[in-house]
Amino acid sequence: MVKFIGRHHVMTIASAATECGPYCANLFYAYIPERNLFVFTSDDRTRHYREMYLNGRVAATIVLETRTVGQVQGLQILGRAALAEGEVAGEARSAYLRRFPYAVVADLTLWTMRPTSMKFTDNRLGFGKKLLWHE
Q: How many CA atoms lie within 13 A of 58 on its CB side?
A: 27
CATH number of 24's domain: 2.30.110.10
pLDDT tens sequence across 69-85: 888 889 999 999 999 99
- For residues 75 and 67, what is the distance between their CA atoms, to the nearest angstrom? 17
Entry pTM: 0.91
In tens, the pLDDT along 33-58 reads 999 999 999 999 999 999 999 999 99
Calpha distance 116→78 (Å, rounded): 6
Domain of residue 13 covers 2-134
How many domains are there within the chain?
1
